[in-house]
Structure 1
């Protein structure tokens, strides 16, 4: 079965009544965890973006605390998993400011992580790629926000070798 395009789905959804739409949403939520998470964000957290950011940051902090630091192999796997989850939460929001703020927090946690990620080429490259991506995202923001987010980014760039 080939999936319909977004415009086809939109046209079809316009012809449905409110009860049918409710049933479709509930069925989507049961089908996949990501759909349920997105629906949760849209219904409960989209109105309070700062609260959402705080929640995601707290979750990232917990995940960093739980990393098995005995071996760089486990550290790499855990950090990639954290970044995958973070990107998913960024996609739910869809706001550039949220993306920059969450990625900055991730990089700060990564930079302060012990054992140092700068002693491992793969982790160091991942960190550098994230900084470059943040810089591109900041350039697309409003001037005031560029300045506000540019300061912590410059700090991260200065202190890459702790």
Structure 2
């Protein structure tokens, strides 16, 4: 079976009724957890972006506090898992400001909750890659936002 392109899907959706669209969306939401999460974001949280960011930050903090730091291997895996989940929430939003805010929070919270993990080269490399990504994203934002986010980024000691 050949998968349709985004343009083909968009064109086909024009010819569907509201009831058919509802049925398609509900059926799509049953197949993957990510589809349901994205649909929940679009329906309930997209119009409250600041609240969404705060909720994700709280989730990041909870997950970081739960990291088992007794073994470097498991700690590294936990950091990667939290970063992967953070990026999933960034994808749902699609906003560069949200991405910058959440990634800065991830790096800063990791530094604050587990400074000993930054002694591990792999964790330090993960943070440094995120810092580079954050700097690239900041450069695409409005000048006022650039200044604010650069001030936040300066709080992170990543060397």
Q: Secondary structure at the match of 1:137?
A: helix
What do the CA deviations read for 1:116-161 (whole angstroms, capped 9, x no partner)? 22311111111111111100000000000000000011221xx336
Are the equivalent residues in 1 in contact too, given 2:53–2:102 (CA < 8 A)? Answer: yes
Q: CA–CA distance in 2 between the matches of 1:49 and 1:18?
A: 27
Are the equivalent residues in 1 in contact too, given 2:69–2:117 (CA < 8 A)? Answer: no
Which residue of structure 1 lines up, in the alignment, with residue 30 of structure 2? 30
Which residue of structure 1 lines up, in the alignment, with residue 66 of structure 2? 66
Q: Following TM superposition, where does structure 1 have runs of at least 4 consecutive aligned residues deviating by more than 3 angstroms?
A: none
Q: CA–CA distance in 2 between the matches of 1:101 and 1:73?
A: 27
Q: CA–CA distance in 1 between the matches of 2:82 and 2:97?
A: 19
* Coordinate RMSD, CA, aligned: 1.0
Are the equivalent residues in 2 in contact too, given 1:107–1:127 (CA < 8 A)? Answer: yes
Are the equivalent residues in 2 in contact too, given 1:104–1:152 (CA < 8 A)? Answer: yes
Q: CA–CA distance in 2 between the matches of 1:13 and 1:84?
A: 31
* 1:117 counterpart = 2:117: yes
Which residue of structure 1 lines up, in the alignment, with residue 50 of structure 2? 50
Are the equivalent residues in 2 in contact too, given 1:117–1:123 (CA < 8 A)? Answer: yes
Which residue of structure 2 lines up, in the alignment, with residue 160 of structure 1? 158
What do the CA deviations read for 1:53-92 (whole angstroms, capped 9, x no partner)? 0110011111011111111111100010001111110000
* Aligned-pair CA distance for 1:109: 1.2
* Aligned-pair CA distance for 1:111: 1.4
Residue correspondences, number: 159
Q: Secondary structure at the match of 1:26?
A: helix
* Aligned-pair CA distance for 1:2: 2.1
